[in-house]
């Protein structure tokens, strides 16, 4: 018996230089001398959101970055990024498991 499963879990990734003239002062104060910004964009799929949360927290941690959580408008340090990512993953996992099975498998 062969079981095939197709999982869609992706996000858009944008990399750009930080411009002091087009970046808000409070953001510049938090990022210090860092000169690039990376954005992870998802569209209405919790699995995509989970993938972007994991990827962004790992990248932030490895690159000594500063993460901006756009949901809470809070900045997350590199030292706290993995814990932030784990919390986000757990929240989404709970949300996904609470959904009716037929709806999750519709894709």
Backbone phi, then psi, for 100, in 5-degree steps? -60, 140
Per-domain residue ranges for the chain?
12-104
Q: What is the pLDDT of residue 28?
A: 94
Position 1 scores a pLDDT of 47
Query: Checking DSSP bridges between strand 36-41 and strand 74-77, what pairing results, if any?
Result: unpaired
Going from the first residue of the chain to its last (107 residues), give the mean pLDDT of each consecutive group of 10, the final group possibly shorter.
57 91 93 94 90 96 96 96 97 91 55
Model pLDDT, residue 37: 94
Q: Helices (DSSP H) in 1-107: which residue ranges?
A: 25-31, 46-62, 78-98, 101-104
* DSSP 8-state secondary structure symbol assigned to residue 23: S
Q: 0.85 cut: is pTM over it? A: no
In which residue are the tokens 């001398």 written?
A: 33
């Amino acid at each position: 018996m062969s079981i095939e499963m197709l999982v869609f879990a992706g996000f858009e990734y944008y990399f750009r230089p930080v411009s002091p003239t087009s970046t808000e002062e409070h953001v510049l104060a938090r990022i210090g001398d860092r000169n690039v910004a990376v954005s992870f964009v998802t569209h209405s799929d919790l699995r995509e959101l989970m993938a972007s949360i994991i990827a962004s927290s790992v990248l932030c941690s490895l690159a000594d970055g500063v993460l901006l959580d756009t949901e809470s408008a809070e900045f997350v340090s590199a030292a706290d990024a993995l814990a932030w990512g784990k919390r986000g993953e757990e929240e989404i996992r709970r949300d996904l498991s609470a959904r009716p099975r037929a709806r999750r498998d519709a894709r």
